[in-house]
Amino acid sequence: MTTFHLGDFLAVGFSRMKEYIEEICEKSQEEVCGLIIKNKGKIDVIECENMSSSPKNSFEINKKDFNKYFLNFKILAIFHSHVNTDENFSKKDLLMSNEIMIPFWVYSTKTKKHNFYIPHTVNKKLYQKQLHEMCSN
C-alpha cells in the first residue's frame, strides 16, 4: 500500500500515482488489480490479490477486501492492468464500472499506456482535470 496526498490527486494530478501503478503492474505477468481510496485527506493505492481463474486475461478483487474498503472509505477508482491487450477497456470492464458506479483505471503493460473511465453516474467535474491529463499522453 502506498499513500499519496489528496492534493496530488485533485490539484497536481495523477503523475506520481501513475508511476507507482506502472511499477507494480510491470512486476507481474498477470493482471494486477487494486483500489484507490480516499483516507482522511490522503489517497491510498491498495494492491489486491487477483482472484480470477484466468488472471492473464481478467481480474477479480476479493469480495471481502472490496467490502471492507467500500464500507469504510470512499473508493475513488479501481485499477487493473492489461497484460495481453492494449489500454482499451473490455466490455466487461465498462459494464462493471457502470454497475458499481466507480471509475476504472487501466494500465497496459503492452502499450505502456493508461486509460481512465468515469461511469455516467459519477460526478465528472471532480475528475475533469485528471481525465484531461490522462488522455493527453
- Interface contacts to Zn ion, rule CB under 5 A: 90, 93
Distance separating alpha carbons of residues 66 and 82, to the nearest angstrom? 20
Q: Reduced to 3 states, what is the DSSP secondary structure of residue 47?
A: strand
Give whichever of 39 and 88 is closer to Zn ion, judged by the CB atom. Answer: 88
Q: Considering the complex, what minimum distance in angstroms separates the CB of residue 92 from Zn ion?
A: 7
Distance separating alpha carbons of residues 15 and 68, to the nearest angstrom? 27
Report the residue closest to Zn ion, judged by CB. 93
Query: With 0-12 CB in 10 A as exposed, 13-18 as middle and 19+ as buried, what is 30?
Result: middle
Q: Considering the complex, what minimum distance in angstroms separates the CB of residue 115 from Zn ion?
A: 9
CA atoms within 13 A on the CB side of 7: 0
Q: Considering the complex, what minimum distance in angstroms separates the CB of residue 80 from Zn ion?
A: 6
Supply 68's cell numbers: 471492507
Give whichever of 67 and 84 is closer to Zn ion, judged by the CB atom. Answer: 84
Q: Considering the complex, what minimum distance in angstroms separates the CB of residue 91 from Zn ion?
A: 10
Give whichever of 12 and 100 is closer to Zn ion, judged by the CB atom. Answer: 100
Give whichever of 67 and 90 is closer to Zn ion, judged by the CB atom. Answer: 90
